[in-house]
Structure 1
Amino acid sequence: MNFDKRQGLLSWVFVGLMFALTATLGVLQYRWIGEVSQAERERLRSGLQASLVRLSQDFNTELTAACAALLPEASAAERDREKLYAGRLAHWRESTRHDRMFRRVAIAVPETNSVQLLMFDFSRGAFSPADWPATWKGIRERAEARLAGEPGGGWRGGFGGPPEGELAILALPRIQFPEPGGEPPRRERPVELDWLILELDLEYVRAGWLPELLQRHLGARGMLEYQIEVVPRWNPDQILFQSDTESGERIGSRADASVYLFEVQWEQLMRRSAPRRPGFDRPKGPPRLMPGGDRGGWQMLVRHKSGSLEKLVARSRIGNLVVTFAILLLMMGVVAALVRFTRRAQRLAELQMEFVANVSHELRTPLSVISSAAYNLQGGVVNDPKKVQRYGELIRNEGERLKEMVEQVLRFAGLKADARIEHPEPVLVETLVEDALRDARRIIEESQCAVDKQIPPDLPPVLGDPAALRHVLQNLLTNAAKYGGDGRWIGISAEVQSGDGNKQVVIRVRDKGQGIPPDEVKQIFDPFYRGRTARQDQIHGTGLGLSLAKRIVEAHHGRIAVRSAVGQGTEFSVHLPAGEPEQVDEFANSAD
């Protein structure tokens, strides 16, 4: 007993250590996943920002290349201005993939007191005089102020931005610089010959150009995973492009990354016209007719559709934590199951050892009696015929006892836990009970127990193996005789019960003995198990009887149950499916 307690204590200590180790691993895993999630968030954010920077460079480079292709050099004669611009425009449209980039192309030509507008007709391929569009009013006023030399002429980027109609317009000056020589270079004043005005086609930008760039830099899943907006830098409430128009949700200040678009590289355009000599200051920044500064006129805002990269990583972190803790719980469950199965295996091993000891003792006792009786008979010690007959009866009884023990062990070894009766036959309950009482008569008589039998004559038969069912009742009657104590009474009865449309025969075996303790009731059907009373009182047995009886009853699609109260006795009930009375006659006729 002390050894069992020590083993149980060690098992629980092992389980506690494993749980503590698992909890420690869980905490470390939680912290590690947090650090990995933070690194993953920064990786996603930097990767997204790098992709947007490349997209912005491609957009602005393509826009700058178009402006450079359309803007002639200042050395061209003014009388060929219209043909020069038209030729460059036609050549550009033939060589570019984005020939629909511009919705309107015009030339603003300075005159004495006004600025004339020449609008390009795409159908004729030529420039012709035109009225200034109403949305270009601000450009015209700034051009005229510029021509008049007014100090406030020109656009200044710090006062609210351009009008709404100018959000997609570029005004590029064609500048003529003085030839080398003459006055000091810093006093040279460049002359603006005219202005090339380009208005982007926003429909083409929304439907073709931007989706192509997004596909290239964010991948095929970019448009599906991210919400994208393009807004004017001076008026964020206005939307120039929106990838998700159905949700209606704005990004605003909650963008995961952003980048500026619509920025012409002015120095690259001016590099062709500005003289290259020491002391000359090349123009920096955009012309004063259009927005200035070091950033583009549009801002692209990008946010993950889950709400943010923070939420995306948090969701992934939660998923990782769930999987991790599920694995840890599974590990703890496996450890607990392993400890439980190990203890059960140890218990089974102990029961098997007890079984071997019990069987050895049970075999040795009758063999010793048989050997002694045979020795006395052989040596002539006993000559009285009555004593010889008594010795012979003793040998026969002990031999039957050995036979029953060996048959029980062999039957248990040969009957599987999930066995089924393959060829059942109808068996009368009254005949079954009578046969079982006859087989158990010797033990019942030795125990001096009175048998109270109540079997109705009209009971339906049960289908099964008569020998196996007889063994079940014999075992229950034998136990009632051995454990009945001073009650010396055995009751056996049978009845029919109906439920769920099925009839079953219930056979009950009762005694008035000491009863079974509640903590042993659940174990009495386990193989090799013997209760404390059997061990203390040294009652003969192998611990296989009830386990074998349970297997036999379950093989007949039935069940066996027990009710017991300490000091009041025990009742075993065997529930078997009932057959029809006609089946007995049919079986008898087939046997004839």
Structure 2
Amino acid sequence: MKRTSALQKWSWALPVLFIILCVSLGVLQYRWIDEASRAERDRLRAGLQDSITRLAIAINSDITSAVSAFFPAGRPPEEPLQPEKLSELYLQWRESTHHDDLFASIGLAVLNGRRLELFQIDPASGAARPSVWPPHWRAIRERLEMRAAQLLGLPPDPRTREFRPGPPPPEEAMLFEVARFGRAAVDPRRNAAWLIFELDESYLRSALIPDHLRRYLGESLTDYAIEIAYRADPTLIFYSNEAQSMPGRPDAETALLEIQYDRLFRRMAPPGMREPPRGRNAGADFGRLLLRVRHRAGSLDAVVARTRMRNLAVTFSVLLLMFGALAAIVLSTRRAQRLANLQMEFVTGVSHELRTPLTVIRTAAYNLRGKLASNPAMVEKYGALIQRESERLTEIVEQVLEFARSRSAAARLETEPVHVREAAEQALNACQPLVEASGVKVENSIPQDLPPVSAEPRALAHCLQNLISNAIKYGGDGGWVGLSAAVKGEFVEICVADRGPGIPPDELRHVFDPFFRGRRAIDDQIHGTGLGLSLVKSAIESFGGQVEARSRPGRETEFLLRLRAAPQNAEAIEPASTGGRPA
């Protein structure tokens, strides 16, 4: 007993420990996934920021390479740039560059007396021709006139707008001016000149920017919304791969479109000269445009959050499967324990059931052999006793063999149309001695005109016999047992009822389990093996039917057999699948 109690404690302790372990693993996994998600978010954001920073540097480098073609390498210019030399440099640049459409216009501003003269490159011939100042170059003209006045020692023109640091307005964002003085002492009348470069907006939008986006973002480009706005006015969009403006905060951003002036200075520095410090605008800290990138899913945070939720869902699904497996193991173990207990009770019960008639038979045989019963009436009595107890033994053995056959996969009952009334009468005839001995009134109200059912005749009669005998043994206190039947759709429902004490609710769901016997049957020492109802359920389900038990303690108990009505004019049918349900 103590060992059984210890085993029961361990059978509960192990699942509890397993549950605690699973919960602990779930909590740790949640924390690990959360930390991994944050690290993944930071990694993606850092990688994206690095990609667009290198993209901005590459675009700035392309622009600087194009501008540097108009400056000498390895030495400062000896003389100021003249229009003829500008034409020569332009033609050389066009032959060597892959971005010959990068500039919409190239201009050269030189001092002529106190006046700035403008020469512009003719793209068709490459010649530098005198030109009037374009209206949108007005700001550059004013700045250059102010610088020229400073070189000439003249007071500034009061009409000139004051220069303000920071990104230029959108109308000037494509314009760059670079001083191109000679090496000799500055003589403003002979030595001052400025190059003016105007980038081609359409070429930037259609070629330069898309090429670098594909190069630095690669296959992930389709995952991101790209927007490039003017830094001076971020509401004005220069380039976008989306139909609508970008909502919310971008995942990464950087400035772009600026000449790397420190690179120009290094280009003109003579060999051996100390390299000037690298300027900040060599990278992407300065620029006239602002590149903003945001994931199409909403943001990188949203992408990582979805991945995190998927990982959590997978983790908790695994934990649920583990809990489900544990529950199945526990239920299976408890069921196996319960079945083992029932089997032990069955062995005990069967041993008792076998010992009682054997004892009676042995005693009667001893009396007959010892001629203790010489009176013919006594011999008749002992003979009847031996016959009755032998039949009881036969019934017990038959039930055990029938249970073994029902559990065999090869067991198969051939069905045929069976009249319910005839099967009920056979069952009543078999139970007649028990009915007479108990004094219970049995009422058979099964109609004669019921349609036949699909069943095996002997097995159906045996099922009804089991139910009737159980009703008499366990419900005979009510003094009445009733049989009835009715058509329910395509099924025929047979009911065996009694008015006995009933079955407790906690036992009702186990009455069809093998070897199960109720507390009252055990306490009152009512003979039985606990196999009868299990055999009834197995047989009826093999016919494609269904068994149900109902009980109202203290009032009545009903056992219902639902069998499918046999097809009309059918001689025999195959057994239906086990566990069939009415439609």
Q: Contact between 1:60 and 1:262, CA under 8 Å: does it hold in 2?
A: yes
Confirm whether residue 496 of structure 1 aligns to residue 525 of structure 2: no
SS in structure 2 of the partner of residue 456 of structure 1: coil
1:289-318 deviation digits (Å, cap 9, x = unpaired): x9xx97233332223333333333333333
Please give the per-residue CA displacement for 1:68-118, whole angstroms capped at 9, x wherever unaligned: 11335765777x944433333233233332222112222223212322222
Which stretches in structure 2 are left out of the alignment for 5+ residues?
574-583
Structure 1 residue aligned with 2:406: 415
CA drift of 1:191 comes to 7.9
Partner of 2:222: 224
Alpha carbons of structure 1 residues 2 and 456: separation in structure 2 relative to 1, 3 Å: farther
Q: Residues of 2 paired with 1:283 and 1:473: CA distance?
A: 106
Task: Supply the distance in 2 between the matched residues of 1:347 and 1:270 (Cα, whole angstroms).
Answer: 93
In structure 2, the residue matched to 1:528 is 515
User: 251, 260, 269: which is aligned to 2:255?
Assistant: 260
> Counterpart in 1 of 2:105?
104
Q: CA deviation at 1:62?
A: 1.7
For residue 551 of structure 1, the aligned residue among 538, 547, 550 is: 538
Counterpart residue type for residue 124 of structure 2: S
Q: CA deviation at 1:415?
A: 2.1
Write the distance in 2 (CA, Å) between the matches of 1:275 and 1:151. Answer: 36
Aligned to 1:46: 46
Tell me if the contact between 1:421 and 1:465 (Cα under 8 Å) persists in the aligned partners.
no
Q: Structure 1 residue 507 and structure 2 residue 494: aligned?
A: yes
Please tell me whether the aligned partners of residues 553 and 576 of structure 1 are also in contact (alpha carbons under 8 angstroms).
yes
* Counterpart for residue 181 of structure 2: 175
Find the residue that maps to 2:144 and give its secondary structure.
Answer: helix
Contact residue 493 and residue 561 of structure 2 kept, 8 A: yes
Counterpart residue type for residue 175 of structure 1:
F
Cα 1:581–1:165, aligned 2, differ >3 Å: closer, same or farther? closer
- Give the letter for the 2:336 counterpart: A
Q: Which amino acid aligns with 1:52?
A: I
SS of alignment partner, residue 470 of structure 2: helix
Aligned pair 1:68/2:63, yes or no? no
Cα deviation for residue 16 of structure 1 reads: 4.7
Q: CA deviation at 1:12?
A: 5.3
Distance in 1 between the 2:396 and 2:531 partners? Answer: 10
Partner of 1:136: 137
Distance 1:422 1:188, change over 3 A: farther
- Distance in 1 (CA, whole Å) between partners of 2:24 and 2:540 is 50
Corresponding residue for residue 398 of structure 1: 389
Aligned partner of 1:321 in structure 2 is 312
Is the Cα contact below 8 Å between 1:427 and 1:584 reproduced in 2?
Answer: no
Task: Indicate the residue corresponding to 1:568 in structure 2.
Answer: 555
Question: For residues 517 and 417 of structure 1, what CA distance do their matches in structure 2 show?
Answer: 31
The answer on whether the counterparts of 2:111 and 2:188 sit within 8 Å (CA) in structure 1 is: no
Does the Cα contact within 8 Å between 1:561 and 1:574 map onto a contact in 2? Answer: yes
| Cα-to-partner distance string for 1:429-479 (whole Å, 9 max, x where unaligned) | 222112112222333333343332223222222221001101101101111
| Alignment match, 1:299 | 290
Cα deviation for residue 544 of structure 1 reads: 1.0
| 8 Å Cα contact 1:175-1:273 kept in structure 2 | no
Does the 8 Å CA contact 1:108/1:117 hold for their aligned counterparts?
A: yes
Two-structure CA RMSD over aligned residues (Å): 3.7
Aligned-partner Cα distance in 1 for 2:291–2:365 = 110
Contact 2:503 2:557 in 1 (8 A): yes
**Residue pair 2:167, 2:287 contacting (<8 A) in 1 also:** no
Map 1:329-348 → 2, pairs under 5 A: 329-348=320-339
Specify whether residues 537 and 85 from structure 1 end up closer, same or farther in structure 2 by C-alpha distance, changes over 3 A only: same
Query: What CA distance in whole angstroms lies between the structure 2 residues aligned with 1:47 and 1:486?
Result: 86
Q: Helix, strand or coil: the match of 1:175?
A: coil
Q: CA deviation at 1:581?
A: 7.1
| 2:533 paired with 1:538 | no
Please state if 1:249 is matched with 2:250.
Answer: no
The verdict on how the C-alpha distance between 1:178 and 1:151 changes in structure 2, with shifts beyond 3 A counting, is same
> Is contact 1:514–1:568 with CA below 8 Å preserved after alignment?
yes
The residue identity in structure 2 corresponding to 1:523 is H
Cα distance, 1:83–1:391 mapped onto 2, change above 3 Å: farther
Q: Which stretch of the first structure deviates more once superposed, 135-144 or 189-198?
A: 189-198
| Number of the residue aligned with 1:447 | 438
Checking the alignment, whether the CA contact within 8 Å between 2:225 and 2:246 is kept in structure 1 is no
Q: Distance in 2 between matches of 1:191 and 1:299?
A: 39
What is the CA deviation profile of residues 171-226 of structure 1, one whole-angstrom value per residue up to 9, with x for unaligned ones? Answer: 122221238xxxxxxx99998542222111122212221122122222211x3222
1:170 CA drift (Å): 1.6
Q: Pick which of 465-474 and 426-435 moved more.
A: 426-435
- Write the distance in 1 (CA, Å) between the matches of 2:263 and 2:492: 104
Shift of 1:412: 1.9
User: How far is 1:547 from its partner?
Assistant: 1.2
Contact 2:415–2:456 (CA under 8 A) maintained in structure 1 = yes
Classify 1:188/1:41 alpha carbon distance in 2 versus 1 (closer, same or farther; 3 Å).
farther
Question: 2:109 and 2:79 mapped to 1: Cα distance?
Answer: 16
Percent of pairs identical after alignment? 44
Structure 2 CA distance for aligned equivalents of residues 232 and 512 of structure 1: 94
Q: Does the C-alpha gap of structure 1 residues 247 and 277 become closer, same or farther in structure 2, counting only changes over 3 Å? A: closer
Matched residues, number:
566
Unpaired segments ≥5 residues, structure 1: 180-186, 587-592
Say whether residues 1:91 and 2:78 are aligned partners: no
**Partner AA of 1:247 in structure 2:** Q
One-letter amino acid matched to 2:246: E
Distance 2:563 2:298 in 1: 65
> 1 CA distance for matches of 2:304 and 2:368?
94
